[in-house]
C-alpha cells in the first residue's frame, strides 16, 4: 500500500548493497527532490521493529538531508529473504552500482543462504550462472583495489588485464 511515512522512523536496511555513492550524483538527486519532491516512492518493510528500508536509500538520504518530515513509501510485509532479494534486485541492474558492490552483494546472499546454488542465485537476480561465478574472482582482489574500483579510480578492465597478464 502507498503511504506517507515519517522519515525519522525508517530503519536502515542491513542488506543495502550500495556502500559507495558518488557525492555529485547524490547532490544532483537532492536538487531534483528539492525542486520536484520524491517522484518515485521508496519501499519499506513492515517488521517487528517498525518500518525498514528495502529500496530507495539515496532518495531517503536526500529527503533526510532536506529536512523532509514524511516521504512517500510503498509499505510491504516481507520475509528477511524477500527484503534481501528486493534490495539487491533494486540495485543490481543500475549503471552506477559497481562490480565490487555486486560481488559483495552476491557474497552476502551466499553467506546468509548457504544452501542457495549459484544457478538459483542467478535465476533470482536475472543473470546467467557464469556471471555469478566469474564475479567471485573480485572478492580475491586486495581491498585497496576493490575500493579504487568502487570509487571509479580504476576500471574493471584494467584490473582484469593486470590480473591475467603474466609478470
Buried b / exposed e along 14-48 (16+ C-beta atoms within 10 A): ebbbbeeeeeeeeeebbeebeeeebeebbbbbeee
Range name among 14-18, 80-84, 156-160 with the lowest pLDDT average: 156-160
Roughly what angle, to the nearest 10 degrees, separates helices 99-112 and 80-92? 160
pLDDT the model gives residue 167:
47
3-state DSSP assignment of residue 27: helix
The 10s digit of each residue's pLDDT in 123-141 is 777 677 887 777 777 777 8
Of the pLDDT bands very low, low, confident and very high (cuts 50, 70, 90), residue 87 is confident
pLDDT tens string 10-56: 998 887 766 666 777 788 888 889 888 998 999 999 999 999 999 89
Signed CA dihedral, 139, 143, 146, 147: sign only: positive
Amino acid at each position: 500500500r502507498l503511504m506517507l511515512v515519517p522519515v525519522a522512523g525508517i530503519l536502515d536496511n542491513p542488506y543495502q548493497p550500495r556502500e559507495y555513492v558518488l557525492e555529485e550524483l547524490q547532490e544532483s538527486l537532492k536538487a531534483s527532490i528539492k525542486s520536484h519532491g520524491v517522484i518515485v516512492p521508496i519501499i519499506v518493510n513492515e517488521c517487528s521493529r517498525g518500518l525498514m528500508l528495502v529500496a530507495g536509500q539515496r532518495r531517503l538520504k536526500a529527503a533526510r538531508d532536506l529536512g523532509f518530515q514524511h516521504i512517500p513509501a510503498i509499505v510491504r510485509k516481507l520475509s528477511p529473504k524477500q527484503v534481501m532479494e528486493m534490495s539487491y534486485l533494486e540495485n543490481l541492474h543500475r549503471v552506477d552500482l559497481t562490480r565490487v558492490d555486486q560481488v559483495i552483494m552476491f557474497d552476502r546472499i551466499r553467506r546468509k543462504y548457504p544452501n542457495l546454488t549459484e544457478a538459483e542465485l542467478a535465476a533470482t537476480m536475472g543473470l546467467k550462472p557464469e556471471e555469478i561465478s566469474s564475479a567471485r574472482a573480485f572478492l580475491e582482489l586486495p581491498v585497496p583495489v576493490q575500493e579504487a574500483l568502487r570509487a571509479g579510480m580504476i576500471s574493471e578492465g584494467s584490473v582484469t588485464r593486470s590480473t591475467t597478464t603474466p609478470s
